[in-house]
Amino acid sequence: KISEKLMPKVFEQSKIAGIEQYPQLLKEILIENAYVDKPFVVVLTPGRFNSAYYEHAFLTREMDVPLVTSRDLFVDDSKVYVKTIRGRQRVDVIYRRVDDAFLDPLCFKPDSTLGVAGLMSAYLQNNVVIANAPGTGVADDKSVYPYVDKMIRFYLGEQPILKNVPTYQCRNSEELDYVVAHLDQLVVKEAQGSGGYGMLIGPQASKQQIETFREKILAAPHLYIAQPTLDLSVSPTLTNFGIAERHIDLRPFVLSSPYRTEIVQGGLTRVAMQPGSLVVNSSQGGGIKDTWVVDNLHS
């Protein structure tokens, strides 16, 4: 919406597909995942100090649902309730923006103040829907990468259209030998890492960094995977020094319910703001761009 307000002529001339329906579509998908006909939906946020809090607030305003923190929710008899000025209100669907480890101090991190005690009990008894479901982050575990082609064949009965990035699992002795012998050519990542932390980008690393990482891998090989260094696409980017090329990658938005899967006509392009950097994560100084889809059907 901000881009459309700033550049109305670009949108009008290029027939950019709109994404203003996304919050409503998200709400519809959340409702379709509920166990009851008229569910009460809330968005669970870590709070106003979270870097994405503005997004949480925007979505709840557009979806017309409450934005809650752990202090607003409680569990009674394995059911989740939210405190309101009219008393407690049963919650049927939680769109959570809190990581798994912090969801329930009785099941995960016992010192978490971001979660709700007993939430997993309510979830396991099908008294509340949590989206995304706890545990779905396994799909983002980098040890899953080598099996993507097989999963497509097994679950869809189809042949992959796009080639998967070759992935070496250091827990396999033969692949480990290859990785430690070619660290200067590979990108090594923690299998369960995120945010661009715990990485080695071999071609950009010093000899000392490579040796240090070699010791880490050999000490706990099961914690690491390695891949060839990808030549990410670049895009013109506004920097403090003018327009310059920066590496980018794409994060699409896909919404699923038992009845349908919707791919939003647009996405988020993550940008590595440092010259030559391949790390696009916002937690390490990366930026973002809108991803626009041209509506050829109506142009």
Domain that residue 161 falls in: 142-228
* Pairing assessment for the beta strands 168-169 and 129-131 based on DSSP bridges: unpaired
CATH assignment of the domain containing 63: 3.40.50.11290
Q: Determine, yes or no, domain membership for 2.
A: no
Q: pLDDT by residue (tens digit) across 100-150?
A: 999 999 999 999 999 999 999 999 999 999 999 999 888 777 788 888 899
Based on the domain organization, do 19 and 124 belong to the same domain?
yes
pLDDT digits (tens, 9 = 90+) for 45-90: 999 988 789 999 999 999 999 999 999 999 999 999 999 999 999 9
Residues 112, 213, single domain; the answer is no
pLDDT in the model for residue 197: 62
Q: What is the pLDDT of residue 123?
A: 98
pLDDT of residue 194: 59
Clarify whether residues 243 and 270 are in a common domain.
yes
Look at residue 127 in the predicted model and tell me its pLDDT.
98
Helix (H, G, I), strand (E, B) or coil at 188: strand
pLDDT value at position 233? Answer: 87
Q: Give the C-alpha separation, 36 to 93, whole Å.
A: 10
Q: Are both 48 and 102 inside the same structural domain?
A: yes
Query: What span, in angstroms and rounded, lies between the C-alpha atoms of 211 and 188?
Result: 13
pLDDT at 277: 80
pTM of the model: 0.80
| One domain, residues 251 and 218 | no
Which residues, 6 or more positions from 284, have their beta carbon under 8 angstroms from its beta carbon? Answer: 195, 196, 197
**Angstrom distance (rounded) from CA 296 to CA 298:** 5
Among the candidates 228, 260, 288, a domain finishes at 228
Indicate whether 75 and 21 sit together in one domain.
yes
Under the banding of pLDDT at 50, 70 and 90, the label for residue 297 is low
Tell how strand 200-201 and strand 186-190 pair up.
antiparallel
The confidence band for 186, taking pLDDT boundaries of 50, 70 and 90, is very high
Q: Which of 105, 134, 163 is the last residue of a domain?
A: 134
- How distant is the alpha carbon of residue 100 from its chain centre? 13
Measured distance CA(12)–CA(43) in Å, rounded: 33
The total domain count for the chain is 3
pLDDT digits (tens, 9 = 90+) for 268-282: 888 988 888 877 777
